[in-house]
Amino acid sequence: MLQPSATVWTIAHPESGGSIVESNERNGLSSAEDLRASRFHFPQDAARYRYFHQRLRRLLADWLPDGGDPASLIFDEGPWGKPQLRDFPGCHFNLTHSGGSAAVVISEAGPLGIDLEQVDATYPCREVAQNYFQGPEITSVVEASSPEQTTERFFRLWTAKEAVMKATGLGMTLEPRQIILGLDPVTMLPTTIDRLDHPVCDAADWKLHFVTAPAGFVLAVVTPAQVSHVGLATDRHCY
* Contact status, residue 198 vs residue 163, Cβ threshold 8 Å: no
First-to-last alpha carbon distance for the chain, in angstroms, is: 35
* pLDDT of the residue at 18: 39
Cβ–Cβ under 8 Å, residues 54 and 69: no
Chain segment 139-178, per-residue pLDDT in tens: 999 999 999 999 999 999 999 999 999 999 999 899 999 9
Chain segment 193-230, per-residue pLDDT in tens: 999 999 999 999 999 999 999 999 999 999 999 999 99
DSSP code at position 109: S
| Predicted pLDDT of residue 2 | 57
List Cβ neighbours of 34 (8 Å cut-off, separation of 6 or more): 24, 27, 50
Distance CA 56, CA 234 (A): 13
56 phi and psi angles, rounded to 5 deg: -60, -45
- Please state the pTM of the whole predicted model: 0.92
Strands (E) located in 52-133:
75-77, 83-85, 92-98, 101-107, 113-118
At 238 the pLDDT is: 38
pLDDT in tens, 29-54: 999 898 899 999 899 999 999 999 99
pLDDT of residue 156: 98
pLDDT per position as a tens digit, 50-59: 999 999 999 9
Contact 119, 155 (CB under 8 A): yes
Q: Which residues contact 96 (CB under 8 A, 6 or more apart)?
A: 102, 103, 104, 114, 115, 116, 162, 166
Closest CA to 106 of 239, 236, 223: 223
On the CB side of 109, CA atoms within 13 Å amount to 25
For the CA atoms of the chain, what is the radius of gyration?
18
Phi, psi of 223 (to 5 degrees): -125, 170
Q: Which tens digits make up the pLDDT trace of 112-126?
A: 999 999 999 999 999
DSSP three-state, residue 175: coil
